Amino acid sequence: MKLLMTPIEKIGIVYAMDTEAEPLIHALSLKPLASPDTDLPGQLYHGTLGKLEIRLAVAGRDSRFNIQNIGTNAAVLTTYQLLKDFKPSILINPGTAGGFQGKKARIGDVYLCTNGVCFHDRRVPLEEFRKSMLGFYPVIQTPRLASELHFKTGRVSTGNSLDCTDMDLTHLQLNQADVKDMEAAAIAWVAWVKKVPFLPVKAVTDFVESHESAAEQFLANFFVACSYLTTSMVAILDFMENKKVEEL
């Protein structure tokens, strides 16, 4: 892995929702970048932070409803749109997620998901398919980043539903998930295919076990969680400048 032994120069960032991404785009003064394939709904931005070259992709919107392309399909295609012509030292997926009160999560907590990315809604009870469908693609290790900037660390499990059925909860528990999102493992798959080191960063908007619906909690806490997420992303990017991936 010679690639990893040089200082971080290029960072890729993939967001699902433009409303999650806009505060960071604004904070870093990123500018729109033309997509090589204008059919794709994903939108690209670029800029610099100190010595770092940054490219950011947002999954865009469903033109039929003018609504954000959340979920794994758009995450896959947008990640590929970003990585096809750009080989960053690290790809980061910041986003909002559900947390678990049973694991002492609080609204606005930001997790570095360095303990694994997996799926909880791809159930195929044939052993080799089962293992493949679970995900668990590589993620980077960032012990200094976590301890110096006081982040929680954990494992993210991905599924295409905002709600959580009993079956989903069973598989989230089997997966030993700390946060539940809708994109990370799909992005991790493309990062693995493209041989790019990956770091998911997730801010808690809702509690998975709550009697209140995830949708209500999501709407109530979204902007607070995004605010913490943006502040964290700026600190994470600052921390990465002049470091190697092994030094994170």
The residues binding a copy of itself (CB under 8 A) are 37, 39-41, 62, 64-73, 76-77, 80, 84, 119, 121-126, 128-129, 131-133, 160-163, 165, 167, 186, 189-190, 193-195, 213, 215, 218-219
Q: How far is the CB of 61 from a copy of itself (least distance, A)?
A: 9
Q: How far is the CB of 127 from a copy of itself (least distance, A)?
A: 9
- 20 annotated active-site: yes
Alpha-carbon gap, residue 175 to 241, rounded angstroms: 33
Catalytic residue (choose from 109, 168, 178, 206): 206
Nearer to a copy of itself, 173 or 213 (CB): 213
3-state secondary structure 71-107: CHHHHHHHHHHHHCCCCCCEEEEEEEEEECHHHCCCC
Dihedral angle sign, alpha carbons of residues 231, 55, 44, 201: negative
Q: How large is the C-alpha radius of gyration of the chain?
A: 17
Catalytic residue (choose from 20, 121, 168, 181): 20
Nearer to a copy of itself, 4 or 246 (CB): 4
Q: How far is the CB of 142 from a copy of itself (least distance, A)?
A: 23
Alpha-carbon gap, residue 58 to 73, rounded angstroms: 13
CA 244, distance to chain mean position in Å, is 21
- 206 annotated active-site: yes
Residues noted as catalytic: 20, 206
